[in-house]
Amino acid sequence: MFGKTLHLGAVVLFAVAPRSYAQGNPIFEIGSNPAIAHYDVLPTPIKNICTEALSSVGQTNPLSLYAYIRGGNSEYFAVWGNTPPGVEDNGFATLLSVHGNQCRASDLEIVLITVPPKDGYHGTTSSELELPGPDSPFVGVPPNRDYVFRSAREEHLTRDFIKDAIRRAVKAYGGNAQFRRAACKPQVEADLSQIAYIIPRYELKAYCAAPPARPVP
């Protein structure tokens, strides 16, 4: 894994390893060679708005952009950058939540491990359309704790966020065939299942099961 927090039942294992620019995709837990996987970088205006937030989590340039979506009046960016010399690498990809000129940085993994409520949705407890974050509801106590979607709309937004991550990965790898070779493997699905990335696993599985898109004549 890429220095992520692994959620294995009631046990949490911290596997922190050195990383470098474009070392891997933190959403699907697959490695990538920087020479063949070319992700876009975080747009400069957003980086400027988020300078303080990025500094608080120790992330510096270059900042690869792995997923993006707008929800309500906010924009969300999944990024992963370098940590400066002398700063301990916490191994976490970052979710930037931008609302106007305000920016908040949180652990992207909260989005990736959030699950639908076991008893289904009964109305909504979310005042606006947004992605999960540190203030999301959860059940259980650490380390055996699950974040829970606040509404069906929030789950739908998260699924669209992951679908955008797939589109960006296809572009970064140079096409569907190249990305499928890296991502559509039983081991990748097993890894996502092991670390409880429910929505990323579901969306990636759906992508891999779909017939490859035909090239445009």
Structural domain count of the chain: 1
pLDDT of 80 > 70? The answer is: yes
- Domain annotation covers residue 214: no
pLDDT of residue 4: 45
- Domain annotation covers residue 216: no
Any bridge partners for residue 77, and if so which?
Answer: 68, 96
What distance in Å separates the CA atoms of residue 9 and residue 202, rounded to the nearest whole number?
Answer: 19
Helix locations, the chain, DSSP H = 44-49, 51-56, 109-113, 152-173, 176-183, 186-194, 198-209
| pLDDT digit string, tens, across residues 36-78 | 678 899 999 999 999 999 998 888 778 899 999 999 889 999 9
Residue 190 structural domain:
5-120+131-209
- Domain annotation covers residue 126: no
* Vertex 190 angle, CA 26 and 205, to 5°: 75
pTM comes to 0.83
What distance in Å separates the CA atoms of residue 114 and residue 208, rounded to the nearest whole number?
Answer: 22
- Domain annotation covers residue 98: yes
Which pairs count as long-range contacts for 19-24, CB under 8 Å and 24+ apart, including other chains? 19/80, 19/89, 19/91, 20/82, 21/62, 21/64, 21/81, 21/82, 22/64
Averaged confidence pLDDT in the chain: 81
- Domain annotation covers residue 33: yes
- Domain annotation covers residue 217: no
- Domain annotation covers residue 125: no
The two tokens of residue 92 are 């976490």
- Domain annotation covers residue 180: yes
Q: How confident is the model at residue 167 (pLDDT cuts 50, 70, 90)?
A: very high
